[in-house]
């Protein structure tokens, strides 16, 4: 049992434990964003014509947040960027509880979107800095696991507080951000103020790495556009087939429970398979799972599709950021992670187009999900082979990054 637990959860540096705990606390206290539309309509009584540009502004801010955080992480250091971003997010959350009027609310909401993910590229770059390469896929998977563990708490908490006190909801959201910032400030092991120089592996061909990043971002865009249809096309299809909203809730509960149980167990397995194939298989499972959704109309069969795309989610959530970490020169890891986060944000902006495609021709969207999933596997193989990335081989065969020795 000790060996089993250690292989799933142990062997990671103290700095990662700080990030994991902070991610859990911060996500458990993320109340504002999921309930923003309800807050604007129920509390401020804003019309739809006023709410729409506010939400668009928030989406634009979110798309810019990761690139901004990536640049800051490389310029002023990882811990400082995380603290600045988290404190700024807390300030915006408190301001949002105080401001009145659509114009001021819209401005603060934009700022909240802009600073809300500034910490994330710095946190991901820190994983690449302090976690040995052979354990990075497992570490990124555990961070995703923390998000899934905390998400139900956030949803239940937000629903409870929203019916009693919006002010309390904003205060707790801000407190969760400040708690994460305090953990980074006080518990994160000493790190260099700025990232080190480019290591020997990456020094020879910066243009090749930049081109590879474009390829990884396009792959990420395709995979997450497909995955996000679980929030857009799947519920529309489910209701059209005669099932109830509660059935969709059951599907999402199965997804959350499945990821919560399997994600930490799958970590060691993901490191034993060549990264290109494990990542391609994950994308394929997402595509096949969603593509199959259009063929079934009963809850038991739909739950089988949920298991398929949940397995895919587990793989890509761990391996895509690990691949970006493989690509990034040491001094550019923040920017690379920022570009990766921006591609996920772009997928979120584009994902509602799936609903329009579904209403135009329901079979087309399922075929699109299947095609994108099938194409992702050879795309991952071609990409990793073309650039000769370390992650093209099983993770256990690679050496740890040089920066890990600099952590006090």
- Give the C-alpha distances (Å, rounded to integers) separating 244 from 34, 113, 355: 22, 33, 18
Q: What is the pLDDT of residue 396?
A: 44
Q: What is the pLDDT along the chain (408 residues), one digit of tens a residue?
A: 555 555 566 678 888 999 999 999 998 888 777 778 878 888 888 887 888 899 889 989 998 999 999 999 999 999 999 999 999 999 999 999 899 989 999 999 999 999 999 999 999 999 999 998 888 988 999 999 999 888 887 777 776 766 777 888 889 999 999 999 999 999 988 765 555 544 434 434 444 457 788 888 999 999 999 999 998 899 888 888 888 888 888 898 899 889 988 988 887 788 788 888 888 999 999 999 999 988 888 999 999 999 999 999 999 999 999 989 888 888 899 999 999 999 998 998 898 899 889 989 888 999 999 999 999 999 888 877 766 654 444 544 444 443 433 333
pLDDT at 198: 44
Phi (first) and psi of residue 192, to 5 degrees: -60, 145
Question: Do 127 and 136 contact (CB within 8 A), yes or no?
Answer: yes
Burial class (CB in 10 A: 0-12, 13-18, 19+), 287: buried
Give me the pLDDT at residue 388, please. Answer: 62
- Looking at residue 381, its pLDDT comes to 85
Question: Structure pTM?
Answer: 0.84
Q: Give the rounded distance of the alpha carbon of 360 from its chain centre.
A: 30
Answer whether 131's CB lies under 8 Å from 104's CB. Answer: no
Token duo for residue 159: 């629903």
Cα 310 from Cα 252, distance rounded (Å): 10
Rounded CA-CA distance 237/340 in Å is: 30
CB 6 within 8 A of CB 261: no
Give me the DSSP letters along 70-83: HHHHHHH-HHHHHH
Q: Cα-Cα-Cα-Cα dihedral of 135, 140, 146, 151, to 10°?
A: -160
The DSSP code for 39 is: I
């Amino acid at each position: 049992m000790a060996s089993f637990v250690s292989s799933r959860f142990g062997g990671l540096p103290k700095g990662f434990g700080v990030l994991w705990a902070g991610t859990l606390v911060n996500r458990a206290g993320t109340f504002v964003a999921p309930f923003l539309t309800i807050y604007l309509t129920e509390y401020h009584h804003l019309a739809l014509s006023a709410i729409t540009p506010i939400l668009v502004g928030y989406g634009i801010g979110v798309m810019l947040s990761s690139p901004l955080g990536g640049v800051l992480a490389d310029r002023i250091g990882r811990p400082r960027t995380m603290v600045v971003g988290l404190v700024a997010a807390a300030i915006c959350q408190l301001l949002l509880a105080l401001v009145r009027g659509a114009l001021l609310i819209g401005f603060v909401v934009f700022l909240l979107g802009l600073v809300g993910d500034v910490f994330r590229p710095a946190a991901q770059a820190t994983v690449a800095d302090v976690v040995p390469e052979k354990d990075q896929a497992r570490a990124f998977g555990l961070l995703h696991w923390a998000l899934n563990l905390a998400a139900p708490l956030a949803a239940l908490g937000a629903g409870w507080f929203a019916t009693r006190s919006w002010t309390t909801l904003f205060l707790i959201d801000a407190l969760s951000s400040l708690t994460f910032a305090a953990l980074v400030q006080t518990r994160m092991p000493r790190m260099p103020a700025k990232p080190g120089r480019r290591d020997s592996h990456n020094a020879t061909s910066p243009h090749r790495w930049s081109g590879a990043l474009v390829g990884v971002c396009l792959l990420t865009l395709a995979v997450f556009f497909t995955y996000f249809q679980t929030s857009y096309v799947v519920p529309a299809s489910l209701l059209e087939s005669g099932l109830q909203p509660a059935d969709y809730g059951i599907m999402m509960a199965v997804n959350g429970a499945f990821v919560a149980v399997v994600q930490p167990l799958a970590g060691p397995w993901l490191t034993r398979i060549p990264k290109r194939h494990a990542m391609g298989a994950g994308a394929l499972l997402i595509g096949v799972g969603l593509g199959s959704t259009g063929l079934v109309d009963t809850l038991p069969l739909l739950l089988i599709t949920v298991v398929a795309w949940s397995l895919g989610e587990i793989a890509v959530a761990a391996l895509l950021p690990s691949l970006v970490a493989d690509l990034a020169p040491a001094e550019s890891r923040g920017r690379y992670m920022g570009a990766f986060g921006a591609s996920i944000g772009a997928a979120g902006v584009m994902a509602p187009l799936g609903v329009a495609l579904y209403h135009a021709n329901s079979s087309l969207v399922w075929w699109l999900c299947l095609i994108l999933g099938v194409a992702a596997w050879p795309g991952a193989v071609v990409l990793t082979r073309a650039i000769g990335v370390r992650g093209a081989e099983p993770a256990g065969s690679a050496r740890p990054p040089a920066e890990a020795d600099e952590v006090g």
